[in-house]
Each structure stands twice: as C-alpha cells, then as structure tokens.
Homo-oligomer: A and B are copies of this chain.
Amino acid sequence: MHVIEIDDPADPRLADYTRLRDVNLRRHLEAEHGLFMAEGEKVIRRAVAAGYAPRSLLLTRRRAEALADLDVDAPLYLVEEETAERLVGFDLHRGALAAFHRGPLPSLDEVLAGARGIVVLEDLVDHTNVGAIFRSAAGLGVDAVVLAPRCADPLYRRSVKVSMGAVFTLPYTRLDDWYGGLDELREAGFHLMALTPGEDSRPLREAMSAVDPDTGVGLLLGTEGDGLSARWLERADARVHIPMSGRDVDSLNVTAAAAIACYELTHRGGAGVRVHRGGP
C-alpha cells in the first residue's frame, strides 16, 4: 500500500467513495466501474483473503494504522473525518472503507460442480435480506447460491456488511434466464424444493428426509411479501413449508425461514456439515 493524504472530498481519486447511501447513484457507479465496496476492517480483510483485489482503501487519519499490515497493491487514502463525512455522506468515525474490483461471475456449471445443497433466490430486492441469507447459508454449510436475474446484488455494500463477508466465500452466480432457469438446475441433477407457506405443500423436514441423500437439493426462496412466482412454484419438484403454530403469526421473516431451511438442507440424512472453501 502507498499512503496518500487527501483533503479535498472532490478529489477525483476519491470518486469510488461518493455518497455511499445514495442507492441509485451507487448502483450505476458500481456497475459502470466494476467495483464493489467493503466496510469495516474485518470485512475488508475477508475480501482480501478471498482473493478480491482492492482498487483503493480509505481511512481517517486517526485510524491510519488500522490496516497497515495488509499486503495489497493499492493506494490507501488518508482523510480527515470531516472530509470523509462530506465524501461518503455519513460519519465514518472508526470505520474503514475499501473499493474492490469485481471479478467475473463463475458459470453455473462451476458453481454447481460438487455441490450437494444450494440455495436459489428468486426476486429478493432487499440487500439486507440477501446479505443475511448468505451469512446463514455459508455458516450452515450450503455449497452455493444461485440468483434469479432480478435478485438484489450480494456485493452491494449493505449486503456485504450484513453477510459479514460471507458473500466472498460462498460461491454464487446468476441465472441468465428466469423463465427456464429452474429447468437448467434440474438438468444439472438438483431436486428443487420451493419454500412456500401455501396449503398445497409438505412439511420441510418430511420432504427433505424423503430425498435420496446423494441427490443434490436446490432450495428455492422468494421475496418476503409475495413469495415465489407462480412459474417457479409450478416448475419446482416439490413445495415445502415450515409448520406454523397458528398463534396469529402466519409466516416467518424470510431470513428466519431461510436459516431454518438451510439448516434442514445441510442436516438431511443425518450428515454433518462439510467444510468447503470458496473465492471469487
């Protein structure tokens, strides 16, 4: 790292860090420049450890030593707290930021190779929910995540943060084709289970234990309000639900449901979880 002190928030070298809370601006900026942001020392270290290359790092002067041991070939911008706040749009305080190069997404074949349990997210638009599901899936031993074309970006700052960096280590890719995407997964050998609170479905545990332990399972999750699309419900091999108590609570939060479903997925057949390593 080469340390560069900058005092002007309008300095073009800081452009990657502009107005981090402006979701629309950031979506365009990050897509056009092929970058993503990581926030917090631990998450930045995890991105580096997973093989992502930083474009630059940003620290306040008071925290200049925070990432001093990091062996990366990128500029480290040191700024005053006031400069940081004017640049990013909030009080950076004890924070650390870094802009990383995105890599190309792996192919579906690469992501599915050797996988036994995967999660398939349809149109989740909430970055917090996507990040939370990655954290649970990675922690519980899911092998990969496949996203529908309109699912929110796992490398958006908020997803990255909530995932605690799990988006770096859990392999994932995106389907090109929403309409036919499930058929691709089925042809790759996966038994597709749609999680839905609907009547016409089997209890999750019962359905999971009925699947041959050697068969790959894809767990389909939809958005919190509307759930999975009619198309995906219809193209799934099975519809499953988590039994509810009836105590005037008719559904779980999508991240709670995802945690339980991932847990059943990775504990089926009485198998323990296996250890995998991922990366970009």
- Quick one: copies of this chain in the complex? 2
Q: Measured between C-beta atoms, what is the minimum distance from A205 to chain B in Å? A: 7
Q: Measured between C-beta atoms, what is the minimum distance from A59 to chain B in Å? A: 23
The contact of A249 among B49, B166, B250, B263, by CB within 8 Å, is B166
Q: Is A266 an interface residue (CB 8 A)?
A: yes
Q: What CA separation (Å) do A237 and B247 show in the bound complex?
A: 29
For A166, the closest partner residue in chain B by CB is B249
Q: Measured between C-beta atoms, what is the minimum distance from A30 to chain B in Å? A: 23
Give the interface segment out of A98-106, A188-196, A272-280.
A272-280
Q: Which residues of B are found within 8 Å of A243, using beta-carbon distances?
A: 140-141, 267, 272-273
The contact of A267 among B46, B140, B168, B205, by CB within 8 Å, is B205
Given the interface pairs A169-B248, A249-B164, the reply to whether A256 lies near B132 with Cβ below 8 Å is yes
Q: Is A1 an interface residue (CB 8 A)?
A: no
Output the residue of A46, A260, A273 with the most chain B CB within 10 A: A260
Q: Which 10 residue pairs of A and B lie closest in terms of their CB atoms, listed nearest first?
A: A141-B245, A256-B259, A139-B249, A246-B275, A138-B249, A245-B273, A136-B256, A138-B247, A169-B248, A260-B263
Residues in chain A within 8 A of chain B (CB atoms): 46, 49-50, 132, 135-136, 138-142, 164-166, 168-170, 205, 242-253, 255-260, 263, 266-267, 272-278
